Structure 1
Amino acid sequence: MIRKLFSFSLFLILISPSMTSLFAQEYETYEEHNLLDPLSQTKFVNELPIPEVLQPTSGETYYEVPITQFEQHLGLFDESGKALMTTVWGYNGSYPGPTIEAYKDVPITVRWENNLTDKDGFPLIHLFSIDPTLHRADPDKGIPVVTHLHGGHTEVASDGHPQAWYTPYFEEKGEHFVKENYEYANDQEATTLWYHDHALGVTRLNVYAGLAGFYLLRDAWESSLNLPSGEYEVPLVIQDRLFLENGDLFYPSGIDELEDPLEKPLPSDVTVLPEMFGNIILVNGKAWPYLEVEPRKYRLRLLNGSDSRFYELFLPGINFYQIGSDGGLLNSPVRQNRLTIGPGERLDVIVDFSDPQVSGQTLIMKNTARSPYPFGDTPKANTTGQIMAFKVTKALAGPDTSVIPLNLRPSPINDLGESTETRKLVLFEGTDEYGRLKPMLGTAQDGPLEYMDEITENPMLNAVEEWEIYNTTADAHPIHLHLVHFQVINTQKFNVKQYVPKDENSIQLLGQPKPPSPENAGWKDTFIVYPGEVARVKAKFDKEGFYVWHCHILSHEDYEMMRPFYVGEMPLELVNKDLSSETDLSLTTKEESFSELYSSLKIAPNPMGDYTRIQFSVEDNTEAVLRIYDFMGRVVATPFTGKVRAGEIYQVLFKRESLAGNIYICKIETANGNSVEKMIIAD
């Protein structure tokens, strides 16, 4: 039965200059798990490792890349100073995987071999609990993997579709599995790509275990620019992790501590979280490393490989000259003193350490991005607020002849031309039948949709389309489209509270559209869509087949914030097909999860000081409870309990009192249904 119980939405910003998070961004509340204290680790003593460049297995263009489990030192030490070893997964025996260097218009073949087996050849079990409540790759035995070349202009059979997974020896395969050897045409311009696992429902876990690496595509034009190269070109993948005191990776659950299950009890091994943040920063697989540099220019290939954490990076006294983004070089360099990078994004920057004022100094790259971004907790200055160090102590090996060109391209980036279709797509956030937050994608016309719902985006082959992506949630989301590189047209504010799902006419735009900032004016495949904004992007869909688009916060991607799209004439079996018929997982319906989110709630003042008023109404006479939870599922306040009447408006005066965090969940619960929304506290 579809329950239309009440309309309730909450977006609170609580002001407190000295709060620490109960969401436990640093996961200090996991004392029973014996977590490794990040403050126990001495920073900037581990030399930055540079991933090796992978060599062909045979010929010049064929690679075999095994995926295996092994132990590796990630730069962690116990109290006695002994190196801690960590069990990880990796490509070709390393975490992160080796860098693949390819060249424009020189195709390569890669065989990603799933060798997650023990010494006797038997399939391993996963390092982390597999959440049984998600749409997921669900083989009878063995760990499912599939590798996606992120940013690659790739044929559908080699795209690494989330349902093209396979187990060791290809014994079990997902329904979209096509072939064992992947073909990469490399028919795009030089840029920074990366490869990572993409198996349905376990992507966050497989990437967390270590399955990621760089893929650098080069071309003759880029080589002619005389950019810093060789040892002066440094790839940097930034990831946050949690560890146990023995060095093992720790992936939190916390959901099993949820009080008062709403409709059915949760299994004990759920691991899906609203977001997942670690308290130890790894760069190229080492905790808070350093790089000794000469007083000269360096090219840094930056990749945010984290699950949910955004980064705002700066080097005191040093400017960044951004020369490229996801899809290639910009028209001209963009000088910045701070870089913002969301999960999945890449930035190509040049830094110049030749200023005599920094000679002999240790420069610490810092991070100021809140988590969740942009209204969550500020990073701790001495842990997640630091990334790595650059020690300007190395003697200059010879004259620095590299340059930062004024013009980076042979000709400016061409506009894709007129769009043949404009699609209004929406980012939603609601709740599932267990009371968990459930992020989803959908359309302005159809409302929120699950991954397995029928396809709504069907660009024709070689069509140019404009996608308008509206963010109704309180978080920023890095939205990634497979296959294409797109151009950002503009962004614009809209009235979130005015919007009603399934009613396009309720979209009320505010102010004037803003063109993309210079650093976002190049080719993109991942773009940050901010709360209360619509981002308009344009792309040409020039390869036929079944692809996906999704939020690249991995915890969101795995739990319904991913949708399929099909390029070209859809096969008859996909037309008007509800893909959920292929799964026996019982998930709540969209109507149950999203009961007209924005229509009845009024909060004032908002932002609040010490007090605010929460106003709500219900449509049935019932008992109601208003609870405030932290993100680990613990009740921290119960502002209201009692009988409520249909149609009446109730106001609850809420006093902040002892709440000491930035991120909470406000939940109304009745005998007939419930509704939740985030509470966000900004310093």
Structure 2
Amino acid sequence: MKRRTLLGALAAAAGVAVPFAGGWRGSTSTGLLLPSRRPLPPPFAVPLPIPPVLRPVRTDADGEHYEVVQRVARAEILPGVATEIWGYNGSFPGPTIVSRSGRPIVVRHRNELPVPTVAHLHGGRTPAASDGYPTDLLLPAGGGGDHAAHMPGMFDEHAVIRTGEREYRYPMRQPAGTLWYHDHRMDFTGPSVWRGLAGFHLVTDAAEDEVPLPRGGRDLPLMLVDRSFGPDGELLYPSLDPALVRPGVRDGFGAGVLGDVILVNGAPWPVAEVDGARYRLRLLNASNACRYRLVLDPPPPGGGGFVQVGADGGLLERPVRHDAVELAPAQRFDVVVDFGRYRTGQEVTVLNAFGAGGTARVMRFRVVRAAADDTAVPATLPGEPGLTAGLAAGRGVPARTMRFRHDVIGGRPGWTVNGVPFAPDAVHARVGRGAVEVWRLTSDFHHPVHLHGATFRVLARSNSGPGAYDAGWRDTLDLRPAEQATIVARFGEEPGRYVMHCHNLEHEDMAMMGNVVVT
């Protein structure tokens, strides 16, 4: 069965005549709310957890070697309740990997889950063989069937299939930055990440070492997700098949799944005790579809409470001061917040101006003591300089246009890029190694567009310049409804197949993905 026919059949089986039911599209996020079915805990009652740092099992000429086991586990997410998760090393978020720029690492993943997986290092400048192409399956240990059994409606002759374990090799030829890793299995990224398959990967380098930014316990990775819970504390997700063998979601949720509980590092609306000093907050939106507009309540005297020092692709060239920060799914913002601007004993709440009800609150900081602080945010930072449109073919004239749209696939609603649903042999662009191209991206609804194997700078949005949150090198663009954006993209030196896709994970799973072949 062809893929588009399969998707149509699945939609028909689910009764999805019009999958975007009332309330599916708001002014802030594209998706439908999945309400929890149990009383939820009060906010700001759970301490903020920090994911543990994974230690290498050995070091040799190939670099540091790490081992990660993907397995089913039970975690206390809601107080006093055990919730089944799928976790890297059995935790959510997974353990944080910290690597050094220029020093290769090898991560061996073992799959002890009941379904295949694919590990993707999001933001990594990675060889195609280790990038986590969505059909390069790692089948469950102990035997998980053949290739075709886990790819209904499609066969990819170029897919590299392993059983039990596989190594991902990362050369780490990139500057310091905040990366993350997550599952990327074709048609199932949404439910797999929702169940817990996500973790931080932080890169350091010598240039960052020279900048007096907050470090150690004042450098906090913060993974933001929204989730919903069932009567017994189980994670709710509207899969057609809870076993995640048959793809698809129930009617209405093809636009995106939104939860009503905000988790930070896996804890609901947590609280963190902080010194009256500067903190670096590595903000990651790991939600399936939810967008955030974060504000501090109260704002510090004089405003400008968030000082942005980094984005998806690493440090900026100069800091940017914000009163609020907007994050689309998969985007990262490194910001410095100076809690020394607040009095000791004061509570500072991070609110989500795009939220409502429980999703309008994110977490709280409590300033518990005055403290010495020798950190600073200098006027210039060692971020990689930008490119100008004149460096690209056509001197600024877009070489390609990519249209991200709600579409009809096999007679049923779905999502496409340039009218084409994802298939391993459907190539949207062929680019040379190290190529620099100007692309125009257009949208109908909210589409956080992510490019594998490339980073880019935003040149323009519609008829104006870059937006307030577009500074620095990006790998994910917050493309807004009925918007046109122009980017200048720099592709890597490693040849092979890479994908670009919407990082609304339900859109991605419903075929809004295309191939970019680096030749």
Q: Report TM bin, short chain.
A: 0.7 to 0.9
* Partner residue, 2:4: none
1:464 aligns with 2:440: no
Distance apart, 1:520 and its partner CA: 1.4
Distance apart, 1:73 and its partner CA: 0.4
1:429 aligns with 2:406: yes
Counterpart among 110, 113, 126 of residue 113 in structure 1: 110
Asked if 1 retains the 8 angstrom alpha-carbon contact of 2:240 and 2:247, the reply is: no
Aligned partners of 1:112, 1:417: CA distance in 2, in Å? 42
Asked if 2 retains the 8 angstrom alpha-carbon contact of 1:200 and 1:558, the reply is: yes
Distance apart, 1:530 and its partner CA: 1.5
* Partner residue, 2:83: 86
Aligned partners of 2:93, 2:383: CA distance in 1, in Å? 34
1:403 aligns with 2:376: yes
1:280 aligns with 2:261: yes
Work out the number of aligned pairs and report it.
463
Distance apart, 1:417 and its partner CA: 5.1
CA 428–91 in structure 1, closer or farther in 2 if over 3 Å, else same:
same
* Partner residue, 1:441: 417
List structure 1 segments (4+ residues) > 3 angstroms apart after TM superposition: 11-14, 170-175, 267-272, 410-417, 431-435, 447-453
* Partner residue, 2:74: 71
Counterpart among 193, 200, 225 of residue 214 in structure 1: 200
* Partner residue, 1:42: 42
Distance apart, 1:451 and its partner CA: 3.5
Distance apart, 1:479 and its partner CA: 0.3
Which amino acid in structure 2 is aligned with residue 199 of structure 1? Answer: R
SS at match of 1:188: coil
SS at match of 1:384: helix
Which amino acid in structure 1 is aligned with residue 310 of structure 2? Answer: G
Aligned partners of 1:86, 1:12: CA distance in 2, in Å? 29
Asked if 2 retains the 8 angstrom alpha-carbon contact of 1:417 and 1:464, the reply is: no
Percent identity, please: 37
Aligned partners of 1:268, 1:66: CA distance in 2, in Å? 24
Distance apart, 1:297 and its partner CA: 0.5
* Partner residue, 1:591: none
Aligned partners of 1:253, 1:61: CA distance in 2, in Å? 38
Asked if 1 retains the 8 angstrom alpha-carbon contact of 2:387 and 2:488, the reply is: no
Which amino acid in structure 2 is aligned with residue 480 of structure 1? Answer: H
| 1:135-534 aligned within 5 A | 143-169=115-141, 171=143, 172=146, 175-177=158-160, 180-252=166-238, 270-271=249-250, 273-316=254-297, 317-318=299-300, 319-356=305-342, 358-369=343-354, 379-381=355-357, 383-393=358-368, 395-396=369-370, 398-409=371-382, 412-415=385-388, 418-420=391-393, 422-432=399-409, 435=412, 437-442=413-418, 447-452=419-424, 454-471=426-443, 473=444, 475-492=445-462, 513-517=463-467, 519-534=469-484
From the CA coordinates, give the structure whose radius of gyration is larger: 1
* Partner residue, 2:35: 27
1:539 aligns with 2:489: yes
SS at match of 1:354: helix
Report the more deviating stretch, 454-463 or 223-232: 454-463
CA 268–328 in structure 1, closer or farther in 2 if over 3 Å, else same:
closer
| Structure 2 spans left out of the alignment, 5+ residues | 1-17, 24-28, 148-155
Asked if 2 retains the 8 angstrom alpha-carbon contact of 1:253 and 1:273, the reply is: no
Asked if 1 retains the 8 angstrom alpha-carbon contact of 2:240 and 2:248, the reply is: no
**C-alpha RMSD over aligned residues:** 2.7
What is the CA deviation profile of residues 463-490 of structure 1, one whole-angstrom value per residue up to 9, with x for unaligned ones? Answer: 211111111x1x2211000011111111
